[in-house]
Amino acid sequence: MTTADLVIRNGMVVTPDAAFAASVAVRDGKILAVGAQDAMPPARETLDARGLHILPGAIDVHVHFRDPGYPHKEDWASGTAAAAFGGVTTVFDMPNTIPPTATAESLAEKHAIASSKAHVDYGLYGLLGEETIAHVGALIEGGVIGFKLYMGNTFGKIPSPSTGAMLEAFEVVAPTGKRISLHAETNSIMERRETQLRNAGRRDPLAHLACRPAVVAVEAVSRAAILAEWTGARIHILHISSADELRPLREAKARGVDITGETGPHYLMLSADDYARFGGIIRVNPPVREAFNQEPLWAALADGTIDMVATDHAPHTPEEKTRNDIFTVDCGFPGVETQMPLMLTAMNAGRMSICDYVRWSAANPARVFGLYPTKGAIQPGADADLAIVDLARSWIIDDAKLQSRSRVSPWHGRAVQGLPLHTLVRGRFVMRDRVLVEDTRGFGRSVHAIQRMPEPQPRNTDKTSAEIVRAGPSARPREHVA
């Protein structure tokens, strides 16, 4: 009989369909067997998981690890240590670093850094900007998990592309099958409003929300959906913050657009009532909104309109988060380490089932980005990426104890129930008994090589910018085929 490297005994295994008492055998980084303890092969090592739940490690498709560029905020070692402590086994890193991840060279540089420091697996986003469309092919060759397009300005001062450039970017990416993740906030609306509010003397925390009413996001989601439908590009709407965005998202899904969405704990659990208490600490893009948005966002997760939770882990220092003028406060706060405890607390309170949670945190992100079932599943043949959690453990979030370099978040002092005790990546403990396994630094690897997106479905390919130029004056318009 094959000998396993590890058998995790007598836990409760959780999949999107069921939670059941079982043991899990691991060999060569993969899950070898899931079943009754009697049926497990002999093992070199065992872990007793009695009373604990074995979840697929979370896949957080939206983190900012700031490396290269802002080592005082975070780097690949501290960011992935935070992930390990949060039960997160794969992260997708955003391109607003210095330099932005927009060329083959900057991508290669980030791969070199990440592969030398990461404790967990990762994907890297390539940037789609006004001037970077020509780099799409080289970025894919260099190994990206997808693309990021900022429709609105945010940290790093990456200019948002015009609608014309956005359409062209979609035309170029559609035939590759890769997904484009969108920061869907329309820049011209919020920029204009911010100028007006500044001129009116506003500097208070709620001025941030006043600049960015939900229409900023609704307009952007709608426009992105139209361009995705026209080109056949696959898109993902990042950080859905409002109830009003759900209508264009639902409509686009109903029309067959390959559009997915994420929301995060801060939109589900914080509200406009919290600005007075937290000041600049709560400043994030898109903003935390009025409390009436929360129920529709939860309902959208439950009915599948929103596909997943992601954190937008956006670390900054206390000094950068506590300035008096809200418009000078850096946007975002850390989240990769606290997502699982926060969501499990909601689960313990009856908000959803544990199966729902792993669907939102692991299975769906893996599916949407072409990693399923190597990632996001507990079944034979899958990577042994596991979070072993104590659902009964009550504790208080303490920013000072976070692994992230950014020790400032609106979660500080919050009572939660549910704690990852051990995290395994491809069968290796990266966090064990709440201690980082130091020598797993550099163990994490890029998942782009295992990504399998469905067949590309480009549309209107005879009308792309490239094609109309190539065809020249002799081309005759084709009949419209519905």
Q: How far is the CB of 233 from ligand NCD (least distance, A)?
A: 20
Between 220 and 228, name the residue whose CB sits nearer to Zn ion. Answer: 220
Rounded Cα–Cα distance for residues 433 and 392 (Å):
16
Tell me phi and psi for residue 248, to 5 degrees: -60, -30
Q: Which does 331 bind (CB under 5 to 8 A by kind): ligand NCD, Zn ion, none?
A: ligand NCD
Q: How far is the CB of 111 from ligand NCD (least distance, A)?
A: 20
Tell which positions 408-437 bind ligand NCD, by CB under 6 A. none
Q: How far is the CB of 406 from ligand NCD (least distance, A)?
A: 10
Residue 334 buriedness (CB in 10 A; 0-12 / 13-18 / 19+): buried
Tell which positions 156-195 bind ligand NCD, by CB under 6 A. 183
Residue 423, C-beta contacts closer than 8 angstroms, at least 6 positions apart: 57, 84, 85, 87, 88, 89, 120, 386, 387, 388, 429, 430, 431
Q: How far is the CB of 4 from ligand NCD (least distance, A)?
A: 40
Q: How far is the CB of 331 from ligand NCD (least distance, A)?
A: 3
Looking at 167, 331, 346, 416, which residue binds ligand NCD (CB under 6 A)? 331
Reported in sequence order, the residue ranges of 169-293 that DSSP labels E, i.e. its strands, are 179-183, 234-237, 259-263
257 binds ligand NCD (CB under 6 A): no
Q: Please check whether residue 386 is in contact with residue 55, taking contact to mean a CB–CB distance below 8 angstroms.
A: yes
Interface segment toward Zn ion; rule CB under 5 A; list 8-16, 20-28, 128-136, 181-189:
181-189
Tell which positions 49-108 bind ligand NCD, by CB under 6 A. 64, 96
Binding mask 120-149 for ligand NCD (x = CB under 6 A): ------------------------------
* Tokens 């990426």, located at residue: 385
CB neighbours (10 Å) of residue 192? 11
405 binds ligand NCD (CB under 6 A): no
Distance of CA 427 to the CA centre of its chain: 23
Q: Which does 135 bind (CB under 5 to 8 A by kind): Zn ion, ligand NCD, none?
A: none
Q: How far is the CB of 246 from ligand NCD (least distance, A)?
A: 20
236 binds ligand NCD (CB under 6 A): no
Q: Please check whether residue 306 is in contact with residue 38, taking contact to mean a CB–CB distance below 8 angstroms.
A: no
Rounded Cα–Cα distance for residues 394 and 124 (Å):
34
183 binds Zn ion (CB under 5 A): yes
Looking at 67, 74, 312, 383, which residue binds ligand NCD (CB under 6 A)? 312
Residue 50 buriedness (CB in 10 A; 0-12 / 13-18 / 19+): exposed
CB neighbours (10 Å) of residue 434? 12
Between 205 and 418, name the residue whose CB sits nearer to ligand NCD. Answer: 205
From 106, 112, 124, 108, select the one nearest 65 (Cα to Cα): 124
Q: Which does 267 bind (CB under 5 to 8 A by kind): ligand NCD, Zn ion, none?
A: none
Looking at 12, 26, 182, 314, which residue binds ligand NCD (CB under 6 A)? 314
Between 238 and 346, name the residue whose CB sits nearer to Zn ion. Answer: 238
Between 183 and 426, name the residue whose CB sits nearer to Zn ion. Answer: 183
Q: Which does 14 bind (CB under 5 to 8 A by kind): Zn ion, ligand NCD, none?
A: none
Tell me phi and psi for residue 369, to 5 degrees: -105, 20
Q: What residue number has its CB nearest to Zn ion?
A: 183
Q: How far is the CB of 183 from Zn ion (least distance, A)?
A: 4
154 binds ligand NCD (CB under 6 A): yes
CA distances from 145 to 39, 91, 185 (A): 37, 10, 22
Q: Which does 314 bind (CB under 5 to 8 A by kind): ligand NCD, Zn ion, none?
A: ligand NCD
Rounded Cα–Cα distance for residues 148 and 182 (Å):
6
From 391, 438, 432, select the one nearest 85 (Cα to Cα): 432
332 binds ligand NCD (CB under 6 A): yes
Counting every residue written for the chain, the total comes to 482
Using CB under 6 A, count the residues that bind ligand NCD: 11
Which residues are at the interface with ligand NCD (CB under 6 A)? Answer: 64, 96, 154-155, 183, 284-285, 312, 314, 331-332
